[in-house]
Amino acid sequence: MAFGQQSGPPATSRQMRDLLRLVTDAGHVDLRDARGPLGLTQRQAGGKFTRDEADALIGLLEDAAAADGPGGPPGTLDEDHRISREERKAAEAALGLRDVPDEVLAGELQRRGWAVMAP
């Protein structure tokens, strides 16, 4: 994969519309303005997201907006609610794990020394 290229299918127009709405609700002008506080890459600040990246960021922004509550300011992200690069990467990785079969996950955890039990 070349530098700055997406590693999956591009985000849908609906995802981008939701993402832009959430970013502006959080008090940013656009994605470029939100680059630092949200830990976006140059590619993402230019509006190029994969579907998984967009889903992860939408989920994190919705969680931050819900944490503000209905009586607070409209979605402003202060230091306590800023999304770190690590949180964004973890959310993207968690989305990727949804498609992995339970047996494969359990096997990998056991290989890493974890004790695994069926629910």
Domain map of the chain by residue range? 13-111
73-91: average pLDDT: 61
pLDDT at 81 (0 to 100): 52
39-63: average pLDDT: 89
- The pair of structure tokens assigned to 106 is 């359990």
8-14: average pLDDT: 91
* Statement: residue 87 has pLDDT above 70: yes
pLDDT at 38 (0 to 100): 85
83-111: average pLDDT: 82
* Statement: residue 72 has pLDDT above 70: no
Scanning 40-119, the segments in alpha helix (DSSP H) are 42-45, 51-68, 85-97, 102-111
35-55: average pLDDT: 89
pLDDT at 6 (0 to 100): 63
pLDDT at 112 (0 to 100): 93
| Higher local confidence (pLDDT), 4 or 55 | 55
CA-nearest of 19, 23, 21, 26 to 77 is: 26
- The pair of structure tokens assigned to 100 is 């992995």
- SS3 assignment, position 84: coil
CA-nearest of 54, 57, 60, 61 to 7 is: 54
* Statement: residue 32 has pLDDT above 80: yes
Rg of the chain's alpha carbons, rounded to an integer?
Answer: 17
- The pair of structure tokens assigned to 97 is 């794990």
